[in-house]
Amino acid sequence: MEKQKTYYITTPIYYPSSNLHIGHTYCTVMADAMARFKRLMGYDVMFLTGTDEHGQKIQKVAAERGITPQEHVDEIVAGIKELWKTMEISYDDFIRTTEPRHIKRVQALFMKLWEKGDIYKGEYEGWYCTPCEAFWTDTQAKDGLCPDCGRPVERAKESAYFFRLSKYQDALIDLFENHPDFLQPESRRNEMLSFCRQGLEDLCISRSSFDWGIPVPVEEGHVIYVWLDALSNYITALGWPDEPEKYERYWPADIHLVGKEIVRFHSIIWPAMLLSAELPLPKKVLGHGWILLEGGKMSKSRGNVVDPVKLIERYGVDALKYFLLREYTFGQDGIYTNEAMINRLNSDLANDLGNLVSRTVAMIEKYCGSVVPPAGPLEGPDEELRGVAMACGDKVAAYMDQFCYNLALEEIWVLIRRCNKYIDETAPWVLAKSAAAGDEAAKARLSAVLHNLADALRMVSVLLFPFMHSTSRKIRRQLGMGEAEPVWEDLRQFDVLGGQTVKKGEGIFPRLDLEKELAELAALQKPAVPQKEYEPFREEVEFDDFEKIDLRVGQILEAKKHPNADKLLIFQVDLGSEVRQILSGVAERFRPEECVGKKVAVVCNLKERKIRGELSKGMLLFAGEGKELAFVSADAAPGEAIR
């Protein structure tokens, strides 16, 4: 028997420093669609994802939270797993770098490189970027900034273990020059090639300034620096070296799918380590672009991350997956906007797909007693419709080979739109009228038309399965096909359906009101305002005491900064009967010129005092912390009492 072909695809292992946003889900959704696509085609697929849990940053975040790093990562990883469950991500294994199986195998890899003579002890000094956990050379960290994230780097020095990356420079240049398929897109390959040609420095692979990591097996007090730890997940999850069954089955990986900023680690450092360990190299590293917002990168600290869960709760998993795969071009950056998402859902899912499904099923219910009719003689546009349907699978497969998800989906939509056009061309409702009036030919034609439509829709359901498998299942149920999983061979023949009982379900994708959705999404996505701490109310006072306070309307005639206090403004305030100098600590809220002419509530009988050398006779009352509610109505006259 021919051995089943295997396909091993990986995502990066995510840092559990905080919850994942839509940008992270992009890579996992792509990997999931590819894994499902290959399974549909009959491959024995291994789809791996996981979390990268060691390192200084995690230790720091945990310390800030007052918990242990393990407690911190356990909590975040549970959330990540929950997210993948919600998103119906079909991974076969989830590796955590804190698992014993990973730890012992990373140490085994370290020893392998050590025994090869490719690890030595030295002193490292370089530019270190803490958030990226990366050391950079002088040329790389020019201007004192990290070339990956743009944040400031620091000079760092410590005794450490090094991997002889430089030894593999020529082998890597050879890899990029002679195996053009190894790294895509092409632009990244050129970048990496010139990076290697500039000369590779040996790589620091241990740290001793923190301890949240895998111990270096040859010396206490050092932990393995995060990239050796992280990258080796791709083989430790397969059981290398002590339980090699899966390793032998799936390694080398067919695809490492990674974001563009970590291509360097995957296409230079990882292959060099594998060469040193005398293990085969992955077949391909694919670098994808980033999902950005109109204002630039998503960042938790700027409070502008798009939460996939909120979108899923509103529109469903398949809608989000479809949008991510259809909207963006692999390898390029793309911008996320709510508007683009709603428009996509409306035009492609509600209009094109949703309408096709509901019309087809409704017509079979109404005109054929809910039973899918058998094939009939071919007429008019039948051949063309069937031709588009039969050709679709190969076209989709060709695009998927290139990781062009958007074009693969577009090809499926060519078929969906062709089906909708077929309905308009054949006008089944007209045929139904004639059939009802006793026209036998019309009756036969109506059956044939609805059969063709149902079978084309069956093909659509097969093609959609890797991308939106719940939707595909819904369509198949409505067509009376039961729960059987589709296979690629289903696309090789037409006229499969006939005799099934269709059943209308709820609409697959309802049409959305763009304006309403945009308003509601904007409200949902507003960064959470930290809960305000209100001052407790003060002790009550007698009315007579309150009466002692003389509150008046004052008009600001002049305002200037206090020469010796950054927070204070000096005002000249017209109180009707006199003009007074009053100081107030609002320099951070108002520029002096914007106060002039404004009216404000004034406590007039507060005992005068000198503040930093300037006399203040009274107090101006400002509400709130911003500019709102700061002044009293312009109609009030200076000197009027406030009661």
CA angle 33, 34, 36 (to 5 degrees): 65
Shortest separation between residue 373's beta carbon and ligand MSP, angstroms: 47
Residue 109 sits in the site that holds ligand MSP (CB under 6 A)? no
**Residue 82 to residue 85: CA distance in whole angstroms:** 5
| Phi, psi (rounded to 5 degrees) for 240 | -65, 140
Q: Please answer whether residues 598 and 631 qualify as being in contact, where contact means their C-beta atoms are separated by less than 8 angstroms.
A: yes
Nearest to 29 by CA among 324, 362, 383, 340: 324
Contact by Cβ (8 Å): 490, 455: no
State which residue, 13 or 568, has the beta carbon closest to ligand MSP.
13
User: Is 231 an interacting residue with respect to ligand MSP (CB under 6 A)?
Assistant: yes
Is residue 14 near ligand MSP by the rule CB under 6 A?
yes
What CA–CA distances, in Å, run from 642 to 126, 273, 601? 66, 78, 8
225 lines the binding site for ligand MSP (CB under 6 A): no
Q: Does 95 bind ligand MSP (CB under 6 A)?
A: no
Binding of ligand MSP at residue 290 (CB under 6 A)?
A: yes
Residue closest to 356 by CA, chosen among 511, 460, 211, 208: 460
The residue whose Cβ lies closest to ligand MSP is 259
Name which position in 269, 298, 349, 423 contacts ligand MSP (CB under 6 A): 298
Q: Which is nearer to ligand MSP, 230 or 319 (CB)?
A: 230
623, 589 contact by CB (below 8 A)? no
Residue 7 DSSP class: E
Sole binder of ligand MSP in the list 7, 12, 250, 357 (CB under 6 A): 12
* 215 or 334: CB nearest ligand MSP: 334
Residue with smaller CB distance to ligand MSP, 133 or 382: 133
Please state the closest distance from residue 50 (CB atom) to ligand MSP, in A. 9
**What pairs with residue 162 in β-bridges?**
120, 204
CB closer to ligand MSP out of 49 and 355: 49
- 532-551 positions binding ligand MSP, by CB under 6 A: none
Positive or negative torsion for Cα 560, 561, 563, 564: positive
Minimum distance from CB of 261 to ligand MSP (Å)? Answer: 6
Of 13-21, 86-94, 172-180, 278-286, the window that binds ligand MSP (rule: CB under 6 A) is 13-21
Interface pick for ligand MSP out of 7, 9, 27, 415 (rule CB under 6 A): 27
- For residue 163, what are its two tokens? 């991997």
Least gap, CB of 332 to ligand MSP (angstroms) = 11
Closer CB to ligand MSP, 15 or 127, in the complex: 15
Query: Shortest Cβ distance from residue 54 to ligand MSP (Å)?
Result: 10
Q: Between residue 259 and residue 288, which ones bind ligand MSP under the rule CB under 6 A?
A: 259, 261-262
CA atoms within 13 A on the CB side of 124: 27
- Cite the DSSP H helix spans in 480-541: 514-525
Cα dihedral 543, 549, 555, 560 in deg (nearest 10): -140
Minimum distance from residue 10 beta carbon to ligand MSP (Å):
8
Question: Is residue 552 involved in binding ligand MSP (CB under 6 A)?
Answer: no
CB-nearer residue toward ligand MSP: 302 or 567: 302
Using the minimum distance from each CB to ligand MSP, give the nearer residue, 270 or 590.
270
In the DSSP assignment, the letter for residue 594 is H
Which amino acid would we find at residue 173? I
CA–CA separation, 327 and 589 (whole Å):
43
Q: Does 305 bind ligand MSP (CB under 6 A)?
A: no
d(CA 87, CA 85): 5
Q: Which stretch binds ligand MSP (CB under 6 A): 152-160, 290-298, 359-367, 630-638?
A: 290-298
Q: Could you say whether residue 26 binds ligand MSP (CB under 6 A)?
A: yes
Query: Given the complex with ligand MSP, which of 119 and 298 has the nearer CB atom?
Result: 298
Q: Among residues 15, 182, 422, 622, which is the contact residue for ligand MSP, using CB under 6 A?
A: 15
CB-count burial class (<10 Å; 0-12, 13-18, 19+) for 269:
buried
Query: Which CB atom, from 13 or from 363, has the smaller least distance to ligand MSP?
Result: 13
Q: Which stretch binds ligand MSP (CB under 6 A): 6-14, 64-72, 463-471, 588-596?
A: 6-14
Selected from 58, 83, 258, 317, the binder of ligand MSP by CB under 6 A is 258
- Give the residue, chosen from 7, 8, 9, 13, that forms a contact with ligand MSP under the rule CB under 6 A: 13
Q: Which of 114, 121, 112 is closest to 206 using CA atoms?
A: 121
Q: Going residue by residue from 183 to 222, which x/- string records binding to ligand MSP, judged by CB under 6 A?
A: ----------------------------------------
Of 253 and 553, nearer to ligand MSP (C-beta) is: 253
Least distance CB 234 / ligand MSP (angstroms): 7
Assess contact for 445 and 378: CB atoms under 8 A: no
Q: How many residues bind ligand MSP (CB under 6 A)?
A: 19
Site for ligand MSP in 39-58 (CB under 6 A): 52
Yes or no: say if 270 and 39 are a contact pair by the CB < 8 Å rule. Answer: no
> Which uninterrupted H or E stretch holds 62?
helix 56-65
Q: Which is nearer to ligand MSP, 14 or 251 (CB)?
A: 14
**Per CB under 6 A, does 73 bind ligand MSP?**
no
Q: How far apart are the first and last CA of the chain?
A: 96
Surface-to-core class of residue 526, CB atoms within 10 Å of its CB (0-12 exposed, 13-18 middle, 19+ buried): exposed
Q: Are strands 285-288 and 183-184 parallel, antiparallel or unpaired?
A: parallel
* Selected binder of ligand MSP within 224, 268, 291, 582 (CB under 6 A): 291
Nearer to ligand MSP, 308 or 354 (CB): 308
What's the closest the beta carbon of residue 446 comes to ligand MSP, in angstroms?
Answer: 49
Cβ–Cβ under 8 Å, residues 124 and 162 = yes
Other beta carbons less than 10 A from residue 481's beta carbon: 19
Determine contact, residues 5/43, Cβ cutoff 8 Å. yes
Q: Is the Cβ of residue 96 or residue 395 nearer to ligand MSP in the bound state?
A: 96
Distance CA 294, CA 518 (A): 15
CB-CB contact of 5 with 250 (8 Å): no
252 in Cβ contact with 246 (< 8 Å): no
Considering the complex, state which of residue 262 and residue 454 has its C-beta at the smaller distance from ligand MSP: 262
Residues within the interface to ligand MSP (CB under 6 A): 12-15, 23-24, 26-27, 52, 230-231, 233, 258-259, 261-262, 290-291, 298
